[in-house]
Amino acid sequence: MTPFENTLYIAMVAPVLALVVSAFLKPAMSFKWNSLLLALSGIGGAIAGAYGAVAEAPFTMSVPMFYGMTIALDRFSAIFFVGISIVIAAAGLYALVYGAKHQNNLAHLRHVGILSALFVIGAQWVFISGNIIGFIASWAVMMFSVFFLVFSRSEKSVALQFLTISQLGIAALTAGFFILSSGALFSDFGTLAYLAGQIDPIQLTVGYGLLLFGFASTIGLFPMHRWLRNVHATVPAHISALFRGVLSGVAFYGFVRCILFILPPLSIWFALPVALLGVLTIVCGAICALNEKNIQRIFSNISLQSMGVAITMVAGAMAFQAVAIYEAMNVMLFAAFVQITVSAIAGSGLFLVGDIVGSNINHTGGLAEKMPKLTIAAFILLLCAIGFPPFATFTSAWMFATTLWGAFPDIALPLAIISGAILVIFDLCVLLSIVSVGRVIIGVFLGSSRAESEKVITEATDSQLTPIVLLAFLALVSGFALPQLFAAIGADPLTSAAGTFNGGIVTAMGTLRMGIIGILTGAIALIAWYFRASWLDRVPTFEAIEACREKIVARLTVGNRCKTLWNCALEKLRR
């Protein structure tokens, strides 16, 4: 067996062992083993995914289940597999902290252990499933375990909200696949792609719509986003991190896989609903993050915005595919991959940070002095999440914006207007997210301590810090190593002088050189640190930031008025 296969087997077997351990060993010990095995699975998966992303031939194997399904990890799925495995490893490590905190509630630990192992198994099998039944079964395992995880810890209304969305999502995905395959239930994805090309346009549209609904509801795109932030605010932090990194990642992977490998070439009209969903999600995430006081909810909304950005990039890729500008399509797709993977890493890390710093932004402050290590890691994760240079999320946003800008001469006027509007909204929302993140940085980490902040005055423990620092480190490295990563997975045309200091990402507006950006950013950070005495006192207070935020929110009252009108209309309809 090759190292690729070995590590993949470790990644796949470890969560099964974690499940067995949780189900049959005494909970006092089993949760620890469960967490370690999940972490091992994540590490194995990340290595296997890295092998798979650069391997010439995909890993394939036949299994007796699902009517002789062939499981496969090709280059495309391997890229995503790396991202979700890193999050699984970090969440597994952080689960040890959760286990130590809840030693007295052994029944609950057993419950969480079994369900988180099932969730990981389901998510991994979604990636490697080679036919419809395998995919749907794995998807359903994942969603059912999420429901019971949410149910065990959250308010029942939150669990039921998720259940409604997940049931409708599974129903839509199943129906969509069946329509595309003309009822050929046992077909693999290759055959499905062939069959989808044979069906009439109406069926194709219905199938596409159902798949879009199924995946969008799981990703938590607007208007199906409420469950996401409610769940994030209530479940344990490591589960929240798993949901952010793995659940959203798997749903995104499924959608892109369908667009690229299953559906026949679609007209540009199919890209419009995706773009609309993406843009509305960006706007929703940006505005809701400003309005929130719960820190986990703020992180959840920032994550939502990132997902919206990634989906908008996919919409861009679909549009470029429809108008046969394949170079731009490739750039958009790679930008989306980077956005989803790196923002998943950053978002998951932020949920772990949120567990340590407390829940209410009004009651937490001045942590930079008391928790310097955590503060640095949190800064890195926050800046990465909103796409600041030199992080890979910035590069992906740059790729997206420049490609869209560069394509203006080649596209029709209506499309150019839509693209321009998307760019403007995107930039405005980036500004809003900078305000949100600034609010968190100043409110929670800088400035002075406020009421109740005395409760969290010591630095986080090593076991708490390890997964967070790991994620922050990977988020930072991903920015600098992006040209090398692109070159390794075969996206050479997007890179320039990869592997050298001068290496960078090629876009329509020239080459974005990572080394230079790194030096510039580092220099600015060093200068700022050196002259900190002159500006640190002038950092606006949390109250000043809040006043600024309220002004911005007041400007956005048009949206609130629309919401009030909409609610009134709904109320009348109900009567």
Partner 1 sequence: MLNAFLSVWHVDILVWCQLVLIGILAVGTLALTINGARAHRSELSVTFAGLVAVVAAAFTNNIAVLALTFALAVLAATCLALHAQRAADEKARKAILALCIGSVGLFTIGAALLFTSQYIQWAFIVVAVATLSSFGIFFMKTRFTSFVGGAAPVVFFIALLRVKQITDGAMADDGVWTNNFFLGFGALIILMAVVKLVFKKKRQLLSISSVQHIGLVAFMIGAGPAGTIPAIIHLVGQAVAHSGLWYSTQSSAVVQSNTTLKYLSGALFASLLGAPFSVLFVSELIGVGYALQAHLILALLVFFALAIINVYLIRGVITLTAGSEPSESTPMTRHQKILAGVLAVHVAIMFGAGTYLLTQQGIQFAVTAAENIASL
State the residues that interact with partner 1 by CB under 8 A: 27, 64-68, 105-108, 110-111, 122, 133, 136-138, 140-141, 144, 148, 151, 156, 160, 163-164, 167-168, 170-171, 174-175, 178-179, 182-183, 185, 203, 206
Q: Three-state SS for 423?
A: helix
Minimum distance from residue 503 beta carbon to partner 1 (Å) = 45
d(CA 187, CA 124): 20
The residue among 36 and 106 lying less far from partner 1, judged by its C-beta, is 106
Q: How many helices (H) and strands (E) does the chain have?
A: 25, 5
Q: Which residue has the tokens 């995503």?
A: 80
Q: Three-state SS for 504?
A: strand
Minimum distance from residue 166 beta carbon to partner 1 (Å) = 9
Phi, psi of 97 (to 5 degrees): -65, -45
Minimum distance from residue 13 beta carbon to partner 1 (Å) = 18
Minimum distance from residue 122 beta carbon to partner 1 (Å) = 8
Minimum distance from residue 124 beta carbon to partner 1 (Å) = 14
Task: DSSP for 252-297, please give it.
Answer: HHHHHHIIIIISPPPPGGGHHHHHHHHHHHHHHHHHHHHH--BHHH
Half-sphere exposure (Cβ direction) of 215: Cα atoms closer than 13 Å: 26
Q: Which residues pair with 131 in a beta bridge?
A: 188
Minimum distance from residue 67 beta carbon to partner 1 (Å) = 6
Minimum distance from residue 199 beta carbon to partner 1 (Å) = 11
Amino acid at 203: Q
Minimum distance from residue 120 beta carbon to partner 1 (Å) = 15
Question: C-alpha distances in angstroms, 263 versus 212, 269, 318?
Answer: 12, 14, 11
The residue among 62 and 360 lying less far from partner 1, judged by its C-beta, is 62
Minimum distance from residue 570 beta carbon to partner 1 (Å) = 17
SS (H, E, C) 188-210: EHHHHHHHHCCCCHHHHHHHHHH
Phi, psi of 451 (to 5 degrees): -50, 140
Q: Which residue has the tokens 């069926």?
A: 203
Distance in Å from the first CA to the final CA of the chain: 67
For 11, residues 6+ apart whose C-beta sits below 8 A from its C-beta are: 41, 42, 44, 45, 48, 85, 124
Q: Three-state SS for 239?
A: helix
The residue among 182 and 291 lying less far from partner 1, judged by its C-beta, is 182
The residue among 204 and 374 lying less far from partner 1, judged by its C-beta, is 204
The residue among 170 and 228 lying less far from partner 1, judged by its C-beta, is 170
Minimum distance from residue 185 beta carbon to partner 1 (Å) = 5
Q: Three-state SS for 424?
A: helix
The residue among 206 and 481 lying less far from partner 1, judged by its C-beta, is 206
**178 burial level (CB within 10 Å; 0-12, 13-18, 19+):** middle
The residue among 231 and 331 lying less far from partner 1, judged by its C-beta, is 231
The residue among 176 and 358 lying less far from partner 1, judged by its C-beta, is 176
For 341, residues 6+ apart whose C-beta sits below 8 A from its C-beta are: 79, 80, 82, 83, 249, 478
d(CA 116, CA 122): 10
d(CA 460, CA 354): 12
Task: DSSP for 150-175, please give it.
Answer: HHHHS-HHHHHHHHHHHHHHHHHHHH
The residue among 184 and 322 lying less far from partner 1, judged by its C-beta, is 184
Minimum distance from residue 163 beta carbon to partner 1 (Å) = 6
The residue among 214 and 285 lying less far from partner 1, judged by its C-beta, is 214
CB 163 within 8 A of CB 217: no
The residue among 64 and 201 lying less far from partner 1, judged by its C-beta, is 64
